[in-house]
Amino acid sequence: RFKCDWSSDVCSSDLFIDAGLWDEAWRFTAPVHFSEGIREPLFGSEPVTTEDIGSDRLEIFRNPESASL
């Protein structure tokens, strides 16, 4: 679980992603567009798994620099 400062668009998950301190991340997307909010972090790689669940999509990313996987 990560904390976000909604007033400054800074999320602690971004700090872990940017520092490479992650092994796996899951991203759910849906066909809904929000005009405001915090954007998802960029993982710098393609998802290793993609699954469509109804009209939503689950993408699983793994850190290619992580030795634990």
8 strand-pairing partners: none
What SS3 class is residue 42?
coil
Alpha-carbon gap, residue 24 to 48, rounded angstroms? 10
43, two tokens = 């993982």
Alpha-carbon gap, residue 21 to 23, rounded angstroms? 7
- Higher local confidence (pLDDT), 58 or 30: 58
User: Which of 12-16, 19-23, 39-43 is predicted least confidently?
Assistant: 12-16
This prediction's pTM: 0.67
